Structure 1
Amino acid sequence: MPEVTAARVPGTELTDEPLVEIKDLRVHYRTTKGDVPAVNGVDLAIRRGEILGIAGESGSGKTTLAVALLRLLRPPGYVAGGEIVFRPRGSPPVDLLELDERRLRALRWKALSYLPQGSMNSMNPVMRVADQFRDVILEHRRDLRGDVDAMIRRLLRQVGLDENVARMYPHELSGGMKQRVLMAISIALEPDLVVADEPTTALDVTIQRVILQSLGDLRDQFGVTLVVISHDMGVHAQLVDRVAVMYEGKVVEVGDVRQVFKRPQHPYTKSLIESIPKIGEAPWREEQRSRVP
């Protein structure tokens, strides 16, 4: 079992106040053989200031839950029922599923942001990095036009990148650099919530560590609430405060990450934890030994 190292920096605010409350959320996909439930009656609270992990194998409903929360769901998927109550700073609570497009657009990036899966394909290949920042910032905050270049340089430094990256095209960046550029864009307007979908996919282990540290810094330095979606329980062990485990479209267990790893309550959670490779463990060696006469 990996060491569970997620820890809060002293002084970082974490409260029991819910930033998001998901209630009886149901998301279905239409098929020629009838509707298929992908998220089936999920109840989940996201506390302000925390890093919440959502774990589960492929097909468990993790990403569908995220895109429903962000109102990015596309046909044949549709929300069959439930509500998602969001409490942005300085504004009254809203049900994200009931907002019209104009009000939803006003919340995106400024209060609700997304770090998509697959950094390789999430940037415009024919635009310089700085122009991609400007697109997001000026679309929502035209009053920052005179400050945008200084903002871009500051944001790049905050995720550990050189200011010269602003002049580059995406093909000139490594996978880890692209992921950090997307992180910087996602926090440019200081949102309340960032949803990161499989942020370490397709990255080598050394870069994964850098990305996880950068994600932790977003919360600790800027007070951003993070939802981290990953099938990798090792990622959750290193990063999150609490973890919610999904299985067949339902949340089967939620708890403090240390408690979940030490005393998992659901058999599926236990199986996920046991699937993590252990140092020195090589099943093929045991198989070889068993064949030796």
Structure 2
Amino acid sequence: MSETDDNVLELSGLEVGYATSEGMVTAVDKADLAVRRGEILGIAGESGSGKSTMAVALLRLLKPPGRVLGGSITFRPKDKAPVDLLKVQGQQLRTLRWSNLSYLPQGSMNSLNPVMRIKDQFADVIIEHAPARRSEIDQLVPRLLEQVGLEPRVARMYPHELSGGMKQRILMAICIALEPDVIVADEPTTALDVTIQRVILQSLADLRRDFGVTLIVISHDMGVHAQLVDRVAVMYEGKLVEVGDVRQIFKDPQHEYTRSLIDSIPSIGKEAS
């Protein structure tokens, strides 16, 4: 297998901007990035650095005034020919979503329909993207819930009956319902206490172990990357300024901004500057 074949995603010269009254503002500036099949890749950077914009662009979820200005995103799903995600349209794009490419959105509190039972929200995704698997729903949902550490009875509950951590794990279970190649997790530990954060991080690691899924984890928190990912891509002002093995990044960061992110991690006994 060639090095290229080992990549599930390749971003080349990706440029994304937002139209404003004063002209186009570049949010992602000619990003080049390869994502290896089966790895957990972290994308780090402060708010406004462009990391979430890059993620929604590759998922084809970018909304106006955002616009992809250039570049390509090559996706190599299992048992399918490679595609440029920026060029696929209509039914082909719908088929890729969830079946091959899933999204764990930021803000689990607002991502579930408040008037639908959890089981019905699983069914929505499965029927929309893999209608042939409709008959499996009753058996599939309890297994998926157990995979993320939740009891089967949760399937009968409504979102308001669940904690934030439970909602996040339900979204993770929905993401793996159709066994995708790649899951993009956008700030998966935001607004969760440290105990639940640890549970979520372990659940993400378990998804890679049990399903062989590739994970792209977006977080401003370098502590999250230190605990979870294999490699880190650091974004600053829309540019990818450093990409490397997580141990190497923490041991010997090459870019000043990367060093600043690492220094921002709270440490017991560390004096405030």
Aligned mates of 1:157, 1:138 — CA distance in 2: 21
Aligned with 1:256 (options 214, 237, 245): 245
Moved more, 275-284 or 38-47: 275-284
Superposition pairs of residues 15-34 of structure 1, within 5 angstroms: 17-34=6-23
Aligned with 2:223 (options 234, 237, 241): 234
Aligned mates of 1:44, 1:145 — CA distance in 2: 36
Other-structure match for 1:64: 53
**Aligned residue-pair number:** 271
Other-structure match for 1:176: 165
Q: SS at 1:133's partner residue?
A: helix
Superposition pairs of residues 74-113 of structure 1, within 5 angstroms: 74-113=63-102
Aligned mates of 1:236, 1:218 — CA distance in 2: 16
State the one-letter code of the partner of 1:56. Answer: G
Q: SS at 1:45's partner residue?
A: strand
Question: TM-score, length-normalised on structure 2?
Answer: 0.97
Aligned mates of 1:123, 1:180 — CA distance in 2: 12
Q: SS at 2:114's partner residue?
A: coil
User: Residues 196-242 of structure 1, C-alpha deviation per residue, up to 9 Å, x if partnerless?
Assistant: 00000000000000000000000011000000000000000000000
State the one-letter code of the partner of 2:173. Answer: A
State the one-letter code of the partner of 2:115. Answer: V
Other-structure match for 1:203: 192
| CA-based RMSD | 1.3
User: Residues 21-65 of structure 1, C-alpha deviation per residue, up to 9 Å, x if partnerless?
Assistant: 000000000000010000001000000000000000000000000
Aligned mates of 1:143, 1:56 — CA distance in 2: 40
**Would you say 1:119 and 2:108 are equivalent positions?**
yes
Contact 1:119 1:182 in 2 (8 A): yes
Q: SS at 2:241's partner residue?
A: strand
Aligned with 1:212 (options 189, 197, 201): 201
Instruction: Return 5+ residue gaps in structure 1 as ranges.
Output: 1-14, 285-293
Q: SS at 2:29's partner residue?
A: strand
User: Residues 151-201 of structure 1, C-alpha deviation per residue, up to 9 Å, x if partnerless?
Assistant: 000000000001010000000000000000000000000000000000000
Give the deviation of 1:143 after TM superposition: 2.0
Moved more, 88-97 or 272-281: 272-281
Give the deviation of 1:146 after TM superposition: 1.9
Contact 1:20 1:85 in 2 (8 A): yes
Aligned mates of 1:73, 1:101 — CA distance in 2: 15
Q: SS at 1:283's partner residue?
A: coil
Residue identity over aligned pairs, in percent, reads 71
Larger radius of gyration: 1
**Would you say 1:39 and 2:31 are equivalent positions?**
no
Aligned mates of 1:282, 1:204 — CA distance in 2: 23
Give the deviation of 1:145 after TM superposition: 2.0
Give the deviation of 1:16 after TM superposition: 7.5
Give the deviation of 1:282 after TM superposition: 4.4
State the one-letter code of the partner of 2:190. Answer: T
Question: TM-score, length-normalised on structure 1?
Answer: 0.91
